[in-house]
Amino acid sequence: MNEQRTADLATPRPLWELALLYAKLGTTAFGGPAAHIALMEDEVIRRRHWLTHEEFLDLLGVVNLIPGPSSTEMAIQIGYRVAGWPGLLIGGTCFILPAALLTLVLAWIYVRYGMLPQAAGFLHGVKAVIIAVMAQAIWNLSRTAIKSRLLAGIGALAGLASAFGLNVLIVLFGTGLLSVALERGPHLRGMPSRAIAALLPKAAAIGFVEASGPAATLSLASLFTVFLKVGTVLFGSGYVLLAFLRTDLVVRLHWLSDKQLLDAIAVGQVTPGPVFSTATFIGYLLGRVPGAVVATVGIFLPSFIFIAVVGPLVPLLRRSPTVGAFLDGVNVAALALIVVVTWHLGRASLVDVATIVMAVLGAVALIRFRINSTWLILAGAVVGSITTR
């Protein structure tokens, strides 16, 4: 079994296999970035053995430290790790495309009929099952991330800091530096040059913010520029995305009303795949199909560039004891953030006996019987639709 697992990890995966996996995830991955990452953990580690838990956690730690949608960047990074540069493009594109196409259809309905289809019952069940998927990922990843009592304590501190509202980046960087200080101590010799290079995309992002000026009129070029800026500098959740887009599109440029923007964010939240597919909806409102295309490309393009720069450095960074200690700290912090998100989503999703039972049974099915999460999501959708009629 161990020999077969080693062979699986060492063998590059066919592009068609990667494309099918991420097309499936892009169609069924509801629940936001933390839920998407949980589904990826189930598929690429437990079911396909493409990565080890430690490799997966290293990638997760890195994507949490750079701007952009974390689950999309995980798809891009995993694609690169298992299939090289073509995999980088295929992994990200196949994860993004289903959500973008579904969002485009919803945007067409919205423009034509002035309203969005209702999906409350469908999501009622899906969200409950997603909590079970996230619980399974926490269980699996914790056994690798928590390598010592020291890291367990650091992770607990990170979770408390996040729960009390401390900025995500401060939690991640602070936990990484605390881990270095406690683990390396007198051996600390500073970050190697490659680690500094890994932070360059962030500096570039800051420079882009300062250089970006107001767009005078609505055009495809100005639309692309707005969404490219957002994709380059945005850290955080869909609510942070709402703040960024409102500042540019409602307040500064007056291209959208508040109602239109909230409807766009709602579409990003209820469709599968990355929440940044909101850009597709807004692009269609402002420029129909060409606008949807340039907005979508603009907001996701920086993620491909960041991963192309940082992705190849991850194995090199792990070889440094100092950077390894930093990544260990970041990894337990990332795990703690998933725990906090799961807690908040659970409070919002598990609202009656039916959803609690679905979540508990789903967790047992995943952890004990290793049921494919896709089937559970489909079952949750059916049960949710029935129970809310």
Ordered by start, the domain boundaries in the chain are 2-119+153-198+308-341
Find the helix or strand (DSSP H, E) in which 100 lies.
helix 70-113
pLDDT at 76: 95
**pLDDT in the model for residue 384:** 78
- pLDDT digit string (tens) for 301-345? 999 999 999 888 887 777 788 888 888 888 888 788 878 878 877
Say what the pLDDT of residue 237 is.
52
**% of the chain with per-residue pLDDT over 70:** 82
- What DSSP character marks residue 293? H
Task: Give the per-residue pLDDT at 6.
Answer: 41
Question: What is the rounded distance in angstroms from the CA atom of residue 8 to the CA atom of residue 11?
Answer: 5
**Using an 8 Å Cβ cutoff, are 68 and 31 in contact?**
no
pLDDT band at 244, cuts 50/70/90?
Answer: confident
The reported pLDDT for the residue numbered 185 is 64
Query: pLDDT higher for 247 or 152?
Result: 152
User: Could you give phi then psi for residue 350, rounded to 5 degrees?
Assistant: -90, 85
CA distance between the termini of the chain: 47
Model confidence at 210, in pLDDT bands (50, 70, 90)?
A: very low
Q: Please determine, for residue 352, whether its predicted confidence score (pLDDT) is greater than 80.
A: yes
**Confidence category of residue 191, pLDDT binned at 50, 70, 90:** very low
The CA distance from 55 to 66, in Å, is 17
pTM: 0.69
Between the alpha carbon of residue 94 and those of residues 23, 25, 41, 101, 258, the distances in Å are 5, 9, 17, 11, 31
Q: What is the DSSP letter of 249?
A: I
Q: What is the mean pLDDT of the chain?
A: 80
Could you tell me what percent of the chain has a pLDDT over 90?
Answer: 27
5, 38, 67, 140 from 45: Cα distances, Å? 10, 11, 25, 10
The predicted-structure confidence for 63-120, as pLDDT tens digits, reads as follows 887 888 888 999 999 999 999 999 999 999 999 999 999 999 989 988 887 766 666 6
Range with lowest mean pLDDT among 10-19, 210-219, 278-287: 210-219
SS3 274: coil
Residue matched to tokens 């589904």: 39
Mean pLDDT of 211-219: 59
Let me know the angle formed at the C-alpha of 163 by 326 and 64, rounded to the nearest 5 degrees.
35
16 exposure class (CB count in 10 Å sphere: 0-12, 13-18, 19+)? exposed
Which CA distances in Å does 47 have to 17, 51, 363, 373? 13, 10, 16, 10
User: Which 3 state secondary structure label does DSSP give 164?
Assistant: coil
Say what the pLDDT of residue 85 is: 92
Q: How many whole angstroms separate alpha carbon 156 and alpha carbon 151?
A: 8
| pLDDT for 122 | 65
In tens, the pLDDT along 157-180 reads: 998 988 887 877 788 788 888 988
Q: What is the CA radius of gyration of the chain?
A: 21
